Amino acid sequence: MSATDPTDDTLSRLIARHRDCEGPLLPILHDMMEAFGHIDEGTYPQLGRALGITRAEIHGVVSFYHDFKTRPNGHHTIKLCRAEACQSVGATETQSALFDRLGLTDFGTTPDGRITVEAVYCLGLCACGPAALVDTQPRGRVSAQSLATEVGA
């Protein structure tokens, strides 16, 4: 997914596609993520006027769902599993080594904006932990080295 600045025309088309549906906010937000790679808070007024809802209501929905981002992710996204099964086989050490390699002190995006590392809590790959999702591809028995190599870091 690439990040694109939202335009009024594109946002108007996304709103028009779902405005007359029941509960249009979530489908519009999903389309915004697909089109722009994030949900810019600057779009809240236009979205609120179109749907007759407040900025606070939009913010509440966007901030509730972890997959809605208000800033673009890096070109690659690594989602590291932090569930107990993965932690028991080295996920914490893998995370620390990956952070060191990428110059991160916590989950987030590298300073060059190329790679985003996020925590997730169970990818359903408990038998082959530590597990991760690299962009959309599940990976098992990962190491900091294998993850960094896969994203070109």
Binding residues, as ranges, are: 81, 86, 122, 126
Which H or E run contains 45?
helix 44-51
Residues that constitute the known binding site for [2Fe-2S] cluster:
81, 86, 122, 126
* Tokens encoding 113: 């904006």
- For the chain, count helices (H), then strands (E): 7, 5
Cα distances from 61 to residues 11, 18, 29, 101, in angstroms, run 18, 16, 9, 34
